[in-house]
């Protein structure tokens, strides 16, 4: 009886292939989500400002809930909530820098919650930037249209609310360790350390077995 002997060496599985299969897929990029949120908020801000300018007059507020909530048209040369009223041109440059910075971060963004927060900041910054560029008295000096008056709080607009809410969300995400790349600080790192310890123990056991 003849036994055929193959000249081909036994196939060896590449450990790298197993490593690639075991590696979880990275979260999808979130730039599109960020831009959609920003576009919706920008459109809402511009629409409400146009309606207010067309239907309200300065000094003639419209009551919504008694004296607590009302619409009151105000031309604001300063920042959100009427702060820094004498620095309009500087605020315009800051808003432009914020827009550029958010877009740059968004290009590598993988966290959905970060995309929501940054989208809110971007939409609000663009809304007020449009006012500063195209409204009177002129480019870089334009006054922002504010119209929402709540109690004793300074008059604000949709863009201001968007910026503040987005910033609060980003602070909360940072405090709880959620990273822009979709990972979470303090949770992913221990897992990596545990995997490394397990691998070290396995290698040590294999080495002792070979020695025996």
Q: What are the residue numbers of the active site?
A: 146, 160
Burial 175-197 (b: 16+ CB within 10 A, else e): eeebebebbeeeeeeeeeeeeee
| C-alpha–C-alpha distance, residues 159 and 166, integer Å | 10
| C-alpha–C-alpha distance, residues 23 and 57, integer Å | 61
| C-alpha–C-alpha distance, residues 192 and 153, integer Å | 48
CB 61 within 8 A of CB 72: yes
Structure-block tokens of residue 192: 């990596």
């Amino acid at each position: 009886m003849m036994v055929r002997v193959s000249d081909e060496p036994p196939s060896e599985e590449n450990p790298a292939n197993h490593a690639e299969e075991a590696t979880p897929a990275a979260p999808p990029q979130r730039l599109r989500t960020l831009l959609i949120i920003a576009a919706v908020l920008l459109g809402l801000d511009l629409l409400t400002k146009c309606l207010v300018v067309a239907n309200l007059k300065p000094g003639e507020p419209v009551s919504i809930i008694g004296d607590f909530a009302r619409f009151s048209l105000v031309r604001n040369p300063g920042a959100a909530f009427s702060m820094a009223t004498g620095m309009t041109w500087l605020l315009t440059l800051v808003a432009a820098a914020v827009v550029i910075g958010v877009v740059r971060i968004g290009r590598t963004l993988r966290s959905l919650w970060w995309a929501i927060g940054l989208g809110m900041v971007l939409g609000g910054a663009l809304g007020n930037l449009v006012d500063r560029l195209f409204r009177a008295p002129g480019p870089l000096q334009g006054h922002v249209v504010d119209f929402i008056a709540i109690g004793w709080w300074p008059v604000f607009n949709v863009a201001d609310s968007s910026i503040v809410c987005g910033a609060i969300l980003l602070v909360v995400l940072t405090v709880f360790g959620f990273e822009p790349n979709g990972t979470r600080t303090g949770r992913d790192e221990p897992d990596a350390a545990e995997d490394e310890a397990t691998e070290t123990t396995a290698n040590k056991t294999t080495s002792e077995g070979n020695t025996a």
